[in-house]
Structure 1
Amino acid sequence: FYLAKRLQKGEGIAQNTQQAIQWYTKAAQQGVAPAQLNLAIMYLRGEGVQPNLQQARLWLEKAAMRGDNRASYTLALLDEKQKNLVDAYKWYDLAARDGMLDEKVRNKARGKIGQLALNLSSADIANARNKADTWFQSK
């Protein structure tokens, strides 16, 4: 993971995003949540690889399953951009839960929940919360 991060940023070593992808993938396959998150972001940006939303979502979900709310928050942003507001609410709800990795992300997610709630019915919100609970319990 640390080698991949240095290769991605060019910190103390020549920048090589393709090698960073290879090392992030190895770490991600071993369940390292920050590697899963960084790999997903590289797939989203097309950094060292062709952009691939499907691969990005796969790695984001794996990182979210490990409690990385930065991944949950990113999934929410993707769903919100695609106008999948119930799913976006679900991911924001998960990112805002206690015990998640990053307090700043939890606070941002809480704010987004309030904004989304203005555009959703109470049935949609209940559905999103139910989806979040079901997903959380399955991990």
Structure 2
Amino acid sequence: MSSRTADIDFTFAHELTVRATTGALAAAGWALEDPLSFMVNDDDLYDWRTTTREHAQDVLAILDAPEHANHHVAVCIYHEKVSAGGQLLFFPGRMTCSFIPTINRRRLSDSIDFTDLGWYMHTLVPPLLTVGLKSYEACDIGH
């Protein structure tokens, strides 16, 4: 089996918050992973932290805080129905974010390597349209 990476990059019509984005995705079955994993890159280190879902509101407040608007921030989301998820990485300025399927990555039914990007787009794009999605670009690259 070859090594692969996949991601979907989203561009929005306006700045958005992590709270609004994860709230929109909840309508399609996505939730913050439990235990809740998140990251604020305020020192050029991708230092992931973990807490319980009971602290979700505090974590969202940290990620959306004005002092982090110019930093990368991320949170892991999970779709319980299919036991898959990944990292939702927000870029400085909050008009772009990427989804990286890192938790039980769904693969195409006839392939042990290729990511089922169609499934991810089907569950991510419609709810993101409600928060101003303007465009997306998806890729699955073998190494």
Q: TM-score, normalised by structure 1?
A: 0.30
Instruction: Answer 1 or 2: higher relative contact order, Cα 8 Å, separation at least 6.
Output: 2
- Between structures 1 and 2, the one with greater helix share: 1
Higher radius of gyration, 1 or 2 = 1
- Between structures 1 and 2, the one with greater strand share: 2
